[in-house]
Chain A
Amino acid sequence: DAGVIQSPRHEVTEMGQEVTLRCKPISGHDYLFWYRQTMMRGLELLIYFNNNVPIDDSGMPEDRFSAKMPNASFSTLKIQPSEPRDSAVYFCASSLARASGYTFGSGTRLTVV
């Protein structure tokens, strides 16, 4: 398996623009997670899905953030409009079961200028 695949690897955008981050989880993994990593706040859980259904989105910072999982092999995280404080590395991860380890993607480094 190619692992969890995220795209793009790097994204530089201007404040106010829409940003879409993409993730392909490992086939057969029932859970998908979106995390944000910054020096100040560490690894923050934004939202997670179980069998394509959003279970907990309490970590989504504002209404500017939205996430979808239209099928078992694809998820998106969208920020609209983007702001400089959204600059961070965004990770997607998937796991096989409720109490099992995550496989993380390589992350998307987002810079909003």
Chain B
Amino acid sequence: GENVEQHPSTLSVQEGDSAVIKCTYSDSASNYFPWYKQELGKGPQLIIDIRSNVGEKKDQRIAVTLNKTAKHFSLHITETQPEDSAVYFCAANTNAGKSTFGDGTTLTVKP
């Protein structure tokens, strides 16, 4: 089955700096890669996603990149704000329809 590894497990940045979270996946059949943000006491919320026919996607301060050859994808957050502090999960989907999640990255943005 699919295996997704996520790094780092914790990340602390100063407000205004950039944050990068990286994931690797094992199944070359995976073709859809969503990212979720989970705040305390809430369920994960989809923030951005990318499909295997695209190399990069951007939405305001967040962007995702995908390298299918190397089987890795990354989340980039620019101009971080305290409200970006949360746990971030990457995931990989195959055509089976289910997501395999990474272990999560706890991002802390210091004001």
Contact = CB atoms under 8 A, between A and B. Distances in A.
Contact of B43 (A31, A101, A104): A104
Given A42-B101, A42-B104, A43-B101, A98 B42 contact: no
Contact of A99 (B31, B36, B45, B102): B31
B46 A101 contact: yes
Interface residues of B, number: 24
Contact of B98 (A4, A42, A48, A101): A48
B7 interface: no
Interface residues of A, number: 23
Given A33-B98, A42-B101, A56-B98, A101 B42 contact: no
Interface of A: 4, 31, 33, 42-43, 45, 48, 50, 55-56, 91, 93, 95, 98-107
11 contacts: A4-B43, A43-B89, A45-B100, A48-B97, A93-B43, A95-B97, A99-B31, A101-B46, A102-B36, A104-B36, A106-B42
